[in-house]
Structure 1
Amino acid sequence: MPREVAAGLVEAGIAAVAPTFVADEYRVSSVRKVGVVRIAGYDVWIRPKTPVRRLFAMLGYARAGSAIWEDEDFGFAADEDLVPALAHAFERQAARALAGGPLRGYVTREDALPVVRGRWRIGDQLTRRGGQPLPLEVSFDDYVENIAENQLVLTAAARLLRLPGVPDDVVSRLRRVVRVLDGVTVIPVGAPVPVVRTDRRNARYSAVLPLASLVLSGASIEQRAGSHIGAGFLVDMWSVFEDFVTASLREAFRPYGGELVAQYSSTLDVEGTVKIAPDLVWLVDGEVRACIDVKYKVEKHGQYPNADLYQMAAYCRRFGLAEGYLVYPAGRAQAVTVDLVAGPSIHQHALNTSAPTIGAAVKYLARVLQATVAADPSPPNHL
């Protein structure tokens, strides 16, 4: 690839790139993002090993704690790449949400008018108008289309139109969404994205709003002055995997009581200066009964990094646990147990993210942990 593309991959933090002894040939490693980005005029596609449909199922769990995007109606199965699949799904759900016209809602406005409308702001009248009777400083509720729900949908449609790889037929339908929302304000790049909760009033937007938020969260790579980086949509796979495992394990642990706490804050030393935060701990009656760390890493030379074992050994020592658990996105079907000298036993589990039964595998993992903690003499040992 051209040197500008290699430099752009490093600049955007997408991958580690090292030159080889061949001109314009590079060794690319540590790729943790998937999607597409335009660099120096080239479209760089980073395809996940996980099927797109399965990736969206994981994203749904990661963002909402449930399988919100597993319905056939979203149309993910027809596409092999992330951006076309996302564009298809968003356009389809946006069209349904706007079928009856854009949603309207009340927005509080402040204005200077010749007549009283709503509430007269006497303090502003005195400070801004110097005692003049007109115009009147008032605030009132206006029933308009320029509300947060429509702003999210419009901004996501506009961002998708700038991305490489969006199919032509979807582009035309996205432009129709933009026309329908004419008069709605686009959220500026870098501005906070509104958080909208679905209720009875905006129920018909319930499917499109999470997709719009996903588009905006992944479209953070924008053209910068003096940079080779153009528009792009990238998703951090390590974050998707860790959030998915956290959300799905929390759901799977509900039958066993207690509480599964993410990023449990504690200290390793007596003085309290060495901070630790395991990815997940299972608390029962305020006591840590199990500790789980989620690692987006793969096996190399038949084993996972030793540093993961050192870290989990420290966690187990801190909480007085005889067992520790490491969860990886790929590896051997059978769980691997490492018995440390004068220390805990650490179990390394792999979840095949490409498997359609990954949800069942997570529930099975929850049973493994619960059975081990409960000192079951014959707990399951595979996923």
Structure 2
Amino acid sequence: MRATPQLVPVSEWTTARLHLDDADRVAVVGLLGAVVQSVTPTARAGEFDVVLGSVAGRIALPSGVVLDVASRRISTADLLHLLRVTGRFPSLHHAGATPGGAGAGVVDVLALSLAREVDGLVAAGLAKEYVTRRLDRPPYGGVLDVREHLGRRMARADQLVTRVRRLTTDTPRHQQLAAALAALHRSGLREVAERAVLRSTAAMGPVSPTSLSASALRALVGTHRLGRYDAALELAITVAQAQELDLGGAGLRSSSLLFALPQVWEDAVALWACGQHPGRRVVQQHPFAVTDGREITARADVVVLDDDGRVERLLDAKYKRLGSTPSAADVYQMVTYCHRLGLRRASLVHPASDGPLVTRVVSIGDVDVETIQLPATAVTPAGADGVAPAAPAPSRSL
């Protein structure tokens, strides 16, 4: 087992003073515009002031230093709650709490959860499938692969090729789960999570290496007749999304597992809107024209549609703390959106640390802009099936 990584706690939009060697500096600079907002050298050699954007999770640097990135606006406990209820971080399907103490971050809890799901699958017996394999050396089995033998091998007697079906646990389902565990291992885990991931990986036995893919994982969900793999696959999807985060066009290193916090908050607001409007359809990223000639278009974060498909409520997910009054830019945005969508009211929804829901209203002409401070505990799974993204979500990490 490798040594416990050197975890450096940092927060989004806070300057972190870090010692970076050449390899670390290249890695951090490669994230500029996507995750890292700025890298500024200080007066001391090898020391830099680094500011990260609105993300949470882990960035493992080549030197072994792991940046443990926390949200300033949502506590780790509230973030875990939102990830669970929005479907990005499924609850465990069996009893027993996942260890989350000793300062464990969201990636550690995710690793422990996936390891526990995999352990449960191993204990119940990994599902086997028939896989067709091609054999081009003795001992041969199966039947002659006529196309390969006559085509590419030109019917040479010394290049016989056969195809055989074998029952194995080395299947795409297990390959993807192993890839998810490997991605978590690379992210730099605390000792308890590290041990759990290594144990679960070994328990699965040998599987062929493959690239972790959220789309491949989604295609596997629901395919097992008993559905017992779905919880583990959904957790692996979360890992894949966390690894694929691309906020500004620059791809992340495979050792980074991050959540795009504005997207998590938008999902939470959409889920809350479902609970507020039972029976209605809630849509994220709803497109509409801003100008009469449709030269300029926009997307509303969350809208509620009536039975005829018309927008009856507009909500804008603002992943930032609310001051004494909403910002002028946010108010102008909502007034414009209301004018184009034919509404008289819009809601700006901000995260709140705790306490009850707080609502205030400002009026601009005939438009009311409502500001809502929404605590994470007010978001529940009820009505989640009503959320319908208008377009595929962008690639992103945990």
Distance in 2 (CA, whole Å) between partners of 1:117 and 1:132 is: 18
Correspondence 1:91 to 2:115: yes
Per the alignment, residue 378 of structure 1 pairs with none
Correspondence 1:204 to 2:228: yes
How far off is 1:324 after superposition? 1.0
Q: Secondary structure at the match of 2:113?
A: helix
Distance 1:83 1:349, change over 3 A: same
Query: Is the contact made by 1:74 and 1:89 (CA closer than 8 Å) also made in structure 2?
Result: no
The partner residue of 2:207 within 160, 167, 184 is 184
Correspondence 1:2 to 2:18: yes
Q: Deviations over 1:75-102 (max 9, x none)?
A: 1543532232222222222211211332
Distance 1:191 1:254, change over 3 A: closer
Where does 1:166-185 land on structure 2 (aligned, <5 Å)?
Answer: 166-167=190-191, 169-185=192-208
Percent identity, aligned pairs only, is 21
Correspondence 1:236 to 2:257: no
Per the alignment, residue 316 of structure 1 pairs with 338
How far off is 1:288 after superposition? 1.7
Where does 1:34-183 land on structure 2 (aligned, <5 Å)?
Answer: 34-39=56-61, 41=63, 42-49=65-72, 50-63=74-87, 68=91, 73-75=96-98, 77-78=100-101, 80=103, 81-109=105-133, 117=142, 126-128=150-152, 130=154, 142-167=166-191, 169-183=192-206
Equivalent residue letter for 2:109: A
Q: Secondary structure at the match of 1:313?
A: helix
Equivalent residue letter for 1:340: I
Correspondence 1:347 to 2:370: yes
Equivalent residue letter for 2:80: F
Deviates more, 1:79-88 or 1:260-269: 79-88
What TM-score do the two structures reach when normalised by structure 2?
0.72
Q: Secondary structure at the match of 2:82?
A: helix
Q: Deviations over 1:33-64 (max 9, x none)?
A: 11222336333222235343432221123336
Distance in 1 (CA, whole Å) between partners of 2:160 and 2:43 is: 74
Deviates more, 1:107-116 or 1:264-273: 107-116
Q: Secondary structure at the match of 1:203?
A: coil
Per the alignment, residue 381 of structure 1 pairs with none
Q: Deviations over 1:306-350 (max 9, x none)?
A: 222111111110121111111111389531211003x41111111
How far off is 1:152 after superposition? 2.0
Equivalent residue letter for 2:35: I
The partner residue of 1:31 within 34, 53, 66 is 53
Deviates more, 1:69-78 or 1:198-207: 69-78
Q: Secondary structure at the match of 1:263?
A: strand
Distance in 2 (CA, whole Å) between partners of 1:292 and 1:235 is: 22
**Higher share of residues assigned strand:** 2
Query: Is the contact made by 2:70 and 2:76 (CA closer than 8 Å) also made in structure 1?
Result: no
Per the alignment, residue 396 of structure 2 pairs with none
Distance in 1 (CA, whole Å) between partners of 2:371 and 2:300 is: 15
Per the alignment, residue 275 of structure 1 pairs with 297
Query: Is the contact made by 1:83 and 1:166 (CA closer than 8 Å) also made in structure 2?
Result: no
Per the alignment, residue 318 of structure 2 pairs with 295
How far off is 1:115 after superposition? 8.3
What TM-score do the two structures reach when normalised by structure 1?
0.75
Distance in 2 (CA, whole Å) between partners of 1:83 and 1:320 is: 43
How far off is 1:166 after superposition? 2.5
Equivalent residue letter for 1:91: A
Query: Is the contact made by 1:152 and 1:213 (CA closer than 8 Å) also made in structure 2?
Result: no
Identify the structure with bigger relative contact order (alpha carbons < 8 Å, sequence gap 6+).
2
Distance 1:21 1:99, change over 3 A: closer
Listed as ranges, the gaps of 5+ residues in structure 1 are 222-227, 364-383
**Higher share of residues assigned helix:** 1
Distance in 2 (CA, whole Å) between partners of 1:21 and 1:219 is: 30
Distance 1:172 1:314, change over 3 A: same
The partner residue of 2:380 within 337, 359, 365 is 359
Distance in 1 (CA, whole Å) between partners of 2:240 and 2:341 is: 40
* Cα RMSD (Å): 3.9
Equivalent residue letter for 2:203: V
Q: Secondary structure at the match of 1:102?
A: coil
Query: Is the contact made by 2:42 and 2:49 (CA closer than 8 Å) also made in structure 1?
Result: no
Deviates more, 1:16-25 or 1:210-219: 16-25
Q: Secondary structure at the match of 2:352?
A: coil
Listed as ranges, the gaps of 5+ residues in structure 2 are 1-16, 246-251, 384-398
Q: Secondary structure at the match of 2:348?
A: strand
Query: Is the contact made by 1:266 and 1:276 (CA closer than 8 Å) also made in structure 2?
Result: yes
